[in-house]
């Protein structure tokens, strides 16, 4: 917080209570309420990425099951030379943008018919965004 206090919050003692799901509430002596979210979107993305981590690494090498997703946004599709892509994937020539990644994760086989990544669909748009944020910030 850079030593500055949020507008409208008075210094003094706060009591910690449980809030609604995923929140902690701090009640101030003067009736101020500060709600803290336990998981920010990065943490959420990291947790959701566990769905992907069974196959994908985010390191410098790929591993045998799937290409590494390190610096995936802005990278051309299917260009890693330490992974053997499907024929469908090898035909792709454009780069991964957030929008394309969003479409792909919603339904990989509709975005790239015949892809080897055909068992995963992330239907919730917020979950897709959290995963994309996580991948974008992996630098």
Element counts in the chain: helices (H) and strands (E): 6, 3
| Minimal distance, residue 34 CB to ligand HEC, in Å | 33
Q: Which stretch binds ligand HEC (CB under 6 A): 14-22, 28-36, 39-47, 79-87?
A: 79-87
Compose the 87-126 pattern: x for residues touching ligand HEC by CB under 6 A, - for all others.
-xx------x----x---x---------xxx-xx-x----
Number of residues located near ligand HEC, criterion CB under 6 A: 27
How far is the C-alpha of 112 from the C-alpha of 48, rounded, in Å?
Answer: 22
List Cα–Cα distances, 59 to 16, 26, 30, 85, in angstroms: 39, 39, 49, 18
Q: Kindly tell me the burial class for residue 134, based on how many C-beta atoms sit within 10 Å of its own C-beta (0-12, 13-18, 19 or more).
A: buried
| Minimal distance, residue 79 CB to ligand HEC, in Å | 6
How far is the C-alpha of 75 from the C-alpha of 93, rounded, in Å?
Answer: 10
Which residues form the interface with ligand HEC (CB under 6 A)?
A: 51-52, 54-56, 65-67, 69, 72, 77-78, 80, 85-86, 88-89, 96, 101, 105, 115-117, 119-120, 122, 131
């Amino acid at each position: 917080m850079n030593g500055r206090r949020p507008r409208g919050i008075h210094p003094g003692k706060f009591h910690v209570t449980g809030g609604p799901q995923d929140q902690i509430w701090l009640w101030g002596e003067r009736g101020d309420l500060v709600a803290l979210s336990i998981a920010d979107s990065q943490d959420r993305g990291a947790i959701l990425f566990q769905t992907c981590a069974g196959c994908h690494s985010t390191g410098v090498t790929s591993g045998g099951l799937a290409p590494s997703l390190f610096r995936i946004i802005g990278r051309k599709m299917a260009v890693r030379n330490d992974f053997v892509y499907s024929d469908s994937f090898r035909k792709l020539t454009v780069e991964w943008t957030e929008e394309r990644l969003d479409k792909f994760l919603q339904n990989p086989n509709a975005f790239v018919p015949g892809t080897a990544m055909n068992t995963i669909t992330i239907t919730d748009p917020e979950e897709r965004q959290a995963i994309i944020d996580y991948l974008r910030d992996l630098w």
